[in-house]
Every structure is written in structure tokens, then in C-alpha cells.
Structure 1
Amino acid sequence: MNWKKIVVGLLLFSACSEPETVRVSLSNAEKKFLIEKPLLFGKNEQITTFYANNDFETVWQDSLNRNELISAIIDSRYDGVLPESYPLAKLIKAHWDYKNLSIPELKKADIDFSENFFKIANQLASGKVNPKKLYGDWEPYIQEFDFVSLLEKSLVEKNIHKTLEDIKPKSELYLKYKKAFAKYVPIISKDTLSAEGLMQKKIWVNFERTKWLQPDLGENYVWINLPEYRLQLVQNNQIVETHKVIVGKKERRTPVLSSSFSGIIINPKWTVPPTILKKDLVPKATANRGYFESNRLTIYDKKTGKQVDPENWNPENYGSYRYVQQTGRLNSLGQIKFDFPNKHMVYLHDTNNRAMFGVANRALSSGCVRVENPFGLAETIFKLEGKNILRSEMDTLAHYEKTKNFKLNQKVNVHQVYFTAVIDSTGSVKILNDIYALDNRLYKRLIQ
């Protein structure tokens, strides 16, 4: 990081703080100027709304407010922000020369201060990068703030710095990674090949990811860290169970999302999802119609609901059919399935190939998460839901291959997350394999 510029900025910043008696004698500090609407053309909605609310007048006359914004941008380096990506030199110069600015320069500076307030506010609250746009299959939690109202209130109360401090995430996870960031990333380096450079990159990208998580994970929740191939069941902030999991392969990766369990199905039937249908079933069944029988799959016509004989199946019109696998141990979902609402059509389930839990690299599924000892997990979730469902009842249903759907009240949350650097309670950092190769793209965006 170019600390020389920051130090110069700090010196200018400290030098330009003037007593109130001096400030009020300056003509620019006493007057408001009308900002013509063409000056706001091309600006984002926050800027145009803000100035419309303020009668299109300048608002940054007070030196303290300008001081505090500049100070907050400089201090943001402790929150994984790159101050050099902000026009600090321009803001500091406008602040220092404020009394001598021409009216056109003053209007432009006013817009610059407002724009950079919104920029730093958004970045501190939700991160620099929108993972939905970067990755597509990532469902971030975006904190809802009325930044326009916050800026208006902060300017009046002269507490810009405090306002920006208050909107930062406050979760334990965020604070844990913030502490690691301060320890391992004192100076930003583009060297990611050395052990030190790799550690910096991993800490920074994962610190950014903490800003995309909802602050309240819930009283009871399942935490699935995909690169760790591990599921943890957390009750009242205590890990009560740990299970191995199998996650999506790189080309069919498991999405990152948060939801809550809505049901547990014993002996579920499996309806082949679109991706597997197109990439697996159609090519294999086209080559050999015996694929349906060997995989215990029944074909149904979507329009009529009637069963279709494999010999009458038309692969060119494969989308007009529904493909259902019968229940039992050989079912692709195994003998138990955990449902939670999401738009990716993924869920947590058992598997008919339990030997794969012994493999080190368990990015093997088509997108859903397979869990080891799923009946033990279900038993605990039922208890947390306050449901008196005994393990013996589940075992009996499984044995006789009887399907039963137990509805849940969504009292247990589920968080599928992606952290390639895991920090334990002592502050030690464990680096994990970046199974979906997501870190480099994010790191390049963060250091821009």
C-alpha cells in the first residue's frame, strides 16, 4: 500500500482543522450555492435523491464534516478497504483550499464529497464486491440502510465518522477476520506466491466474504463450509455436532446461500433435476434405454401424468417428461432428505454411495450437499424443533422403505458458506483448498 500518500494526506488533514471562529468568517462556509441539475447527470440514484431532498444546494460547508469523511476513508484500511482507490488527494486539496474555491469548483467538490460518502458507506456495510454479480450462484445478505437519510442526519449532527463506524458489520465472525487482517495484512502486496503473500490474499478475500453474511445466523443453525467438506450444527453458539459432507464438483458447484429447514423426508423419491437430466441422463439413456431400469427410473408424461415405456421415450423431446427414481437405499438421495427454501433447487441429503466420505477431495456431487450420518443430524434437528420424533421411528420407516414427510417450522437455519481461510478460537489460521477457484477473481477486484 502507498502509505506515503496516506501520510501526506494525514498531515494535510490535521493541518486544515481550523477553529470555529475562523471557519464562520469564510464566505464559502457561510453560503449555500445552487447545484444545477446538469451537474448531476450520470450520477447514481443516491446522489440525485440526496440533492433533490436538499433543494439542490451545497451541503459540505462545515469543515468538521469534510474532516470526518476524509478521516473515515483513511481509517477504513482496517476494514479491508483500499484507501488509495478513493480520490483522497483531491478531497484533501478541496478541503484545504475550500475558502479559495471558485463557485464552480465548490459545487464540484460538494458532489465529490457526497459521492465518496455513499461509496465508502456502501463498501463498509456490504463490501466492495457484489458476489451475485461476480459469481452468479452466490446469495449475499445486503444490509438495508437509507444512506441518503444517514448522510442528511450526519451532516446536521456533525458525526460523519461515527455514522460510518456504526454501519460496519458487528458479527463475531467479522471481528475475528478483522483482527486477522490487521495481523497479516499490514501492507498490501500483489505477491501471492510466497507463504506470506498467500496468507494475505486468503485473509483479505475471506474478510470480504464476512460482509456478505447476515449478522444474526440464528439461535440454532447448520454451518456448511464448502471448501472444508464439513457441516457443523450449532446450538446456542456451541457446536454440538460435526459431519463430513460431499459438495458439488467444480463444474456443478454448490451455491452459497442462507435459508432454514422446512421439512425432512424419510425415503424420498428423486425427481431428476434439469442439469443432471441434460448432461447425464439424456446422453446415457439415448445410448442405452436400459439406463432407466438399471437406475430404477420411471418416466412420466408431464401433460397427461401417465407412465411412459422407455421404448417410447423420445430423447429429442426429453423436456416433456418427468423422471422419478423410486425410494430405498439405492435412491440417489439415500434414505433421507432435508428441504430448505431456495431458488437453486438444492437440498441436503443422504447418499447411496457412503464410501465416498472417506475420500479427501469431496467435491463430487451435482450441486446438492450429501451428509454423513444424516439420521443423527435429523434426530437433533427434530429435538430443536420441539418434535417428538424418535430415532426408532425413522429407522422403521427407512427399513420398510415407507415415505414420510415431516414438516418443520424453520426453527433451524442453514448457511452454505465459502471460506478458504478458517480462523479458530485462538486466532490460528488454516488455509483450505480453493475448490471452485473463486479467490483470485475476488482478490483482483479488491486490490484495484
Structure 2
Amino acid sequence: MRRFSAMCVLFLVLGLAAEARAQIRGELAPVGVAEFYAQRRDAPAWNAESYAELVAAVGDAWMHGLPPERYGHERLSDPSLTPFLRDRLATDAYLALAGDLHYGLVDPRSVEPEWTLRQDRVDLIDRLRTALATGEVRASLEALAPQFPEYAALRRERVLLGLEARDRLPLGEGEDLALSSAGDRVDRLRARLSEIDPALSLVPAGRPFDAALERAVRQFQRDARLEPTGAVDALTRRALDRSPEDRAAILAINMERWRWMPADLGRRNIRVNVADYRLETWEDGELVAIHEAMAGRTSAATPAFSATMSYLVFNPWWETPISLGRGTLRSIQRNPNYASWAGYQVLDRSGYRVDPHSIDWSTREISDFRVRQRPGAGNALGEVKFMFPNRHNIYIHDTPDRDNFDLTNRRAVSSGCVRVQNPFELAEWVLEGQEGWTREEIDTVTAGSRATRVNIDDPVEVHILYFTAASGAYGRVRYLDDLYGRDRRLRAAFEQGLTVPLAQMEARRTGTAATLEDRPVAGHHGQGGRTAAMRH
């Protein structure tokens, strides 16, 4: 009888353990949990201090744009949990949160089809073992999130957003606001923009729209990449009146974009934020310089991708893509003299030069020819192009319309390429330390008209990116216009990702590890001297 009772107790204990496992496995990270405890032979792993750190870290997941309830925060705080279940819930929550912080919820290629960067692979179970051994659970989770300063700025903004949301009143519908406008909406505008100019908070209610407020509106518009008119039109009002929920969503999806990035973007790298019309040069983890830029118009959107800059060309020819050359050929068809006046050569399908006056257009088609533009002041690529071969034929280059950088704040005007301000300063940095290419020698070459290719001894990684929330002055974040409507796609995918069971997310990450590693990075098309057609 005693033996029977002992067996009953044993089976009861085993049954409770199995039931506990059933409650946890299949919820969040079943593969990782099983492997972790198999290595420990089911020994418990969490002490009180580490568990408390985990609960706090899960509770603060919202600062990363991730909902704490996704990781069972409320359940982790349940005092009635058995020690066995409590231990496994903690492991499960850690691995699930760690995976989301490091890899993100959305496969970047599902919303950015040309994405080429590869995420760093991390052994999350090893990270957990180390965290428990050192007692640094929270720090280990924070280390799995992106370490870029821009990501930290988005997190700070998310915290501030929660504090400010209660006090900010929207401007609401109404007429445009400009100098001499008055009323409650002007008072709300002044309160809204006091973060740009704190002195505005001292202005008494009822004062009309004045010059100081106009300056603040212009600054807001410049920061948001709107036209800095100083008047609050419908587009500016929508930007000012973004709800706290919309701003939180914008921050969340831009933090997600940073999670797609590897930690190492290259010792020397160029980052172009298309939505911000901004090009940055980075070296050894430090920002070197900022250049204003132009990007593709909405009908010729600049894709997000990465490639390696291997050479540049001073005084370049523009090998016009067929799609862009048709209009030029029609102009030449109407007036053959246009070719010499605008600096174009007409080539046949074999690449031989053709005198435009000799073409019998009654027997020939536009598609029988292509055009190229010789180096010179009017060349669409300006005086230098920076080449990082890729299948899109998208590059960085100068422009003959340099005045446009100062004339407009919204610069989606190109056929897809990135036009850069101060291109010779950029060339000087790219060729820094390279014998024979000081700034004086660059100026000497560009004073002539001969196309000159320079191979780069220390190639530069180029990352064409798209962020609609970016660091601004005084540690605040600038919310940018969603130029290409990409936020809508990513927001939908991110919200859908929040509904995908974490166990399924874990299986996808585990199952696609090889695919992510093997995905090719945009490489060199053609051999050294071959010239590809490019947009501008």
C-alpha cells in the first residue's frame, strides 16, 4: 500500500511537471526553452534578483515600441505561479523579447524588396546563460537592441511622448494660419512650438501670429522637410496635429528599421536617409560630415539597399538609360542641332556614333538609338559621380542645378539617383590619404573636361536608407514626411507581426538563418572599364 501511495505521488508530481511544460511550451519560444533546459537537465535557472530584473525589462518593452503583454508581463507578475512554471515563463519571456529586440518583427525584404544588409546572428540561449551567470539580465537585453545613437534618440522620444501627450491640444481644422492671424488656434500653435523656441511659452494668450512665431513655424517646416513658408497650411497642420498614437507608431516602425541593421556598417561608410534628403559620412563610428541631398521623385523612388563604393569618376559622361533618353531623342528628332547644343551624342544599337542630321526618321525608330552626354557644365551628373555598382543603376553624383539645394526643402526631383551638395568635399573624404588626390589635385582635374576614373584604395560602404523619424536639435526627434508612403506598408506589416504567435516567429527566425546569411549583397556588374547606363 505504501509503495502504491509513493507511486501515486511520483506520477502526480510528473503529471504536474508535464502540465506546467504544456502551459509554457508552444507559447513564446518553445525551441529555445527546450534546448536551454535540456542543457541544464531541467535544473531551475532564475533567482529572485534576476527574475525581478526580467519583469522590469519586460515592463519597459514599450520604450522599444514593443507591447509588454506580448511577453506575458502580467502573468510574470502573478504571485501564485509555481516555482517550476515561474522559472520557465521567465526563460520563455527572455528569449522572446531578446529575439524581437535583436531581429525585429518584420522581414525587411517583405516591405523593402531590394534590402541587402544581413542581420548579425546571435546565440540567444548563450546570451541568457551569460546574463544569469553575471546577474545582468536587463543589461543583456538592452545590449541586444540596436546600439546606434539614432535608436537611443527614438527611445527617449517615446518616453517623452508619454509625458507630453496629455497636455498637447491639436490645432484642429480651420483656415491657414499666417502673420496677423489670431485666436485660440494661434495660441495652441504657439504652445506646440515652444519646444523649438522656449520663449514662445512666455507670450500671453491672445497675441496674434507674429514674426517670432513665423520663425518657429519655418524651423518646424525645415525639420519636417516641408517647404518653409512660415504659414501653417493643411500639410503643416497635419504634421503638427499628429496624434500621440500616430507618433508612437512612427517611432515604433523606425525603431524596427534600425533592428534590421547589422552593428557594423563599415569602418568608413556613407548613410543616405532618403526621406530626410541627407547624406552622412561616418568613419570609425564617428559622424564626419553632413551633406544635403536630392532623391528620386515619387514616380522614380530611390530604393533602400547597400553596396560598396569602389571608384569615382571626375568629369563623367552620362550614359543615358533608354527610358530617360527617349525624350532627348524626340528633341533631336525635331531639331538635330539640339544634340550639339545640349552636349549629346547619338549612338546606334552597336554603340557607334551617328550624325543626328543623317538619320532618316521615316525609316528609323526612336528605339534604334540611345544618347550619351559629354562632360561639361550642363552634364546631368555634374562634375563627379560616385560609383557603387548595383543592379538599380543608382549612384551618388553632383548636379548642374546646385542652387536648388538652397531654393527648396523638399527635393524629390531626381530619376532615382542621389544628388549631393558639396560633392568635391565628399570626394576629398572618399579619397583621403590616397596618393595623388589632394583637394588641389581634384580641383585641377575638374577644371578640365576629360573623364577621369579613380579607383578607391579604401572602399566605402554605402547604405541608402529610409527613416521618417530622425534625430534633431536638443535631443528631440524630427518627424519627416513619408515621401514614398513606405510607412503605411511597414506599419501594417509591424501590426500584423504583433499578431503572429511568438513560437511561429521563433521558428521562422531559426528556419531562415541560412537564407539570411546567404542573401547576396549588391555587387559589381561588369568589368573595370565597362560603363553602365545610370539614372540621374
> Which letter maps to 1:205?
I
Which residue matches 2:60? 75
**1:252 aligned to 300, 315, 321, which one?**
300
Q: 1:370 aligned to 2:419?
A: yes
Write the mapping of 1:31-430 to structure 2, written as runs, cut at 5 A: 51=34, 59=42, 62=45, 64=47, 72-88=57-73, 96-97=81-82, 117-147=94-124, 149-150=126-127, 163-185=140-162, 194-195=241-242, 197=244, 198-217=246-265, 220-234=268-282, 241-273=289-321, 277-278=322-323, 280-282=324-326, 285=329, 289=333, 294=339, 296-301=344-349, 305-307=351-353, 311=361, 314=365, 324-357=372-405, 358-382=407-431, 384-410=432-458, 412-424=460-472, 426-430=474-478
Per-residue deviation, 1:365:
0.6
Per-residue deviation, 1:262:
1.7
Q: Which whole-Å deviations, capped at 9, do the CAs of 1:395-428 have from their partners, x for residues lacking one?
A: 4433431011111123544443333333246313
Give the whole-Å Cα distance in 2 for the aligned partners of 1:271 and 1:232. Answer: 27
Aligned residues: CA RMSD: 4.6
Per-residue deviation, 1:266:
0.9
**Aligned-partner SS, 2:255:** helix
**Aligned-partner SS, 1:179:** helix
Q: 1:438 aligned to 2:423?
A: no
Per-residue deviation, 1:250:
1.7
Distance 1:51 1:344, change over 3 A: farther
Distance 1:345 1:51, change over 3 A: farther
Give the whole-Å Cα distance in 2 for the aligned partners of 1:393 and 1:158. Answer: 57
Write the mapping of 1:8-23 to structure 2, written as runs, cut at 5 A: none
Instruction: Please give the TM-score of this superposition, normalised by the length of structure 1.
Output: 0.69
Give the whole-Å Cα distance in 1 for the aligned partners of 2:286 and 2:45. Answer: 49
> Which letter maps to 2:378?
L
Distance 1:271 1:116, change over 3 A: farther
Distance 1:157 1:203, change over 3 A: closer
Distance 1:329 1:283, change over 3 A: closer
Give the whole-Å Cα distance in 1 for the aligned partners of 2:122 and 2:115. Answer: 21
Give the whole-Å Cα distance in 1 for the aligned partners of 2:347 and 2:478. Answer: 47
Aligned residues: 399
Q: Is contact 2:313-2:454 (8 Å) kept?
A: yes
Q: Which whole-Å deviations, capped at 9, do the CAs of 1:3-22 have from their partners, x for residues lacking one?
A: xxxxxxxxxxxxxxxxxxxx
Give the whole-Å Cα distance in 2 for the aligned partners of 1:374 and 1:157. Answer: 50
Give the whole-Å Cα distance in 2 for the aligned partners of 1:32 and 1:162. Answer: 32
Q: Which whole-Å deviations, capped at 9, do the CAs of 1:99-140 have from their partners, x for residues lacking one?
A: 6x8xxxx9xx97x87775544222111333333212324444
Per-residue deviation, 1:305:
4.9
Distance 1:49 1:96, change over 3 A: closer
Distance 1:395 1:219, change over 3 A: same
Give the whole-Å Cα distance in 1 for the aligned partners of 2:249 and 2:471. Answer: 14
Give the whole-Å Cα distance in 1 for the aligned partners of 2:30 and 2:376. Answer: 59
Per-residue deviation, 1:69:
5.9
**Aligned-partner SS, 1:264:** strand
Which 5+ residue runs of structure 1 have no aligned equivalent?
1-25
Per-residue deviation, 1:173:
2.5
Per-residue deviation, 1:437:
2.4
Which residue matches 2:530? none
% of aligned pairs identical?
Answer: 25
Distance 1:343 1:48, change over 3 A: farther
Give the whole-Å Cα distance in 2 for the aligned partners of 1:332 and 1:137. Answer: 25
Give the whole-Å Cα distance in 2 for the aligned partners of 1:185 and 1:385. Answer: 48
**Aligned-partner SS, 1:433:** coil
Q: Which whole-Å deviations, capped at 9, do the CAs of 1:204-261 have from their partners, x for residues lacking one?
A: 3333333333434555444433233233445566655443321111222223344453
Give the whole-Å Cα distance in 2 for the aligned partners of 1:289 and 1:314. Answer: 10
Per-residue deviation, 1:440:
3.6
Instruction: Please give the TM-score of this superposition, normalised by the length of structure 2.
Output: 0.60
Q: Which whole-Å deviations, capped at 9, do the CAs of 1:9-62 have from their partners, x for residues lacking one?
A: xxxxxxxxxxxxxxxxx94699789x99xx98xx99x96588579779985855
**Aligned-partner SS, 1:125:** helix
> Which letter maps to 1:329?
A
Q: Is contact 2:33-2:92 (8 Å) kept?
A: no
Which residue matches 2:529? none
Distance 1:156 1:391, change over 3 A: closer
Give the whole-Å Cα distance in 1 for the aligned partners of 2:36 and 2:389. Answer: 39
